[in-house]
Every structure is written in structure tokens, then in C-alpha cells.
Amino acid sequence: MAEDSPKRRKANFNEAETEVLIEQVLKHEQLLFAAGPGRASAGQKRKVWELIRHKVNPVAACPRDVEDLKKRWRDLKRRDRSKLCRLSQGCGPPAPPALGLLLAPEELPPSAAPPA
């Protein structure tokens, strides 16, 4: 009987993977996340996620499956929401000054805008 090696975690998403994921999800956002009577079926959504997977995997550090992509998308949304909350509403600890470099100028609240 062969010894089982400990399960290894996948590599972190690299910048290229993240960019392709964001680009593709935003391109298909209406189909994936629309609510109401015109929304897509589960089968249609599954096909779109598979299409996104086929676009991400050529630039991926390791093969990604659909669940990896969905989790990464949820994490990106959560991180952006918390970042915007800290900047615009003063939620939690104050944001470090360098955080403004990650957002476009129009996303910054007036109090955090760099001096002209």
C-alpha cells in the first residue's frame, strides 16, 4: 500500500489570473448574477463558469476548477467592499495612506483625495 502524502494547497492566484477572472466575470455579470424573471438557469451559469475557467487556466500557475474561481470572486468582492467601507464611511480602523493608491481617484471619498 502506497503512503498517502499530506494534501498540498494550491498556489495563490497570480496577477494575470486575477485580471482574467475579473475581466470575464464582469463581461458575463448580467448572466451570472441577474435577479428576477430574466435570470439565467443553473445550467447556463455553469456553462459560463466553465468558459471562464477555460480562459483563466492558460495563464494559471496551477489548474483551477470552477469552485476555485467562484471562491476567488467572492473573496475579491468582500475585500473591495470592506476597503470601500473603511474609506468612505470610516468603518473599522483608518485605512493606511497607501491604500488610496489601489483605488481610482473617483472611488476615493473627498476627505481622502490627494492634495492638488
Q: How many distinct structural domains can be found in the chain? A: 1
Task: Pull the grid cell for residue 9.
Answer: 494547497
- Is 69 within the bounds of a domain? yes
**Per-residue pLDDT tens over the stretch 76-92:** 999 888 877 777 766 55
* Gap between the Cα atoms of 38 and 61, Å rounded: 36
Provide the 3-class DSSP secondary structure of residue 111.
Answer: helix
H or E element at residue 77: helix 66-88
**Does the pLDDT of residue 111 top 60, yes or no?**
no
Domain coverage including residue 77: 15-86
On whether residue 103 sits in a domain, the answer given is: no
Q: What is the pTM of this model?
A: 0.67
Q: Of 30, 45, 107, 80, which is closest to residue 72 (Cα–Cα)?
A: 80
pLDDT digits (tens, 9 = 90+) for 22-50: 999 999 999 999 888 888 999 999 999 99
How confident is the prediction for the chain on average, in pLDDT? Answer: 81
Largest CA distance in the chain: 69
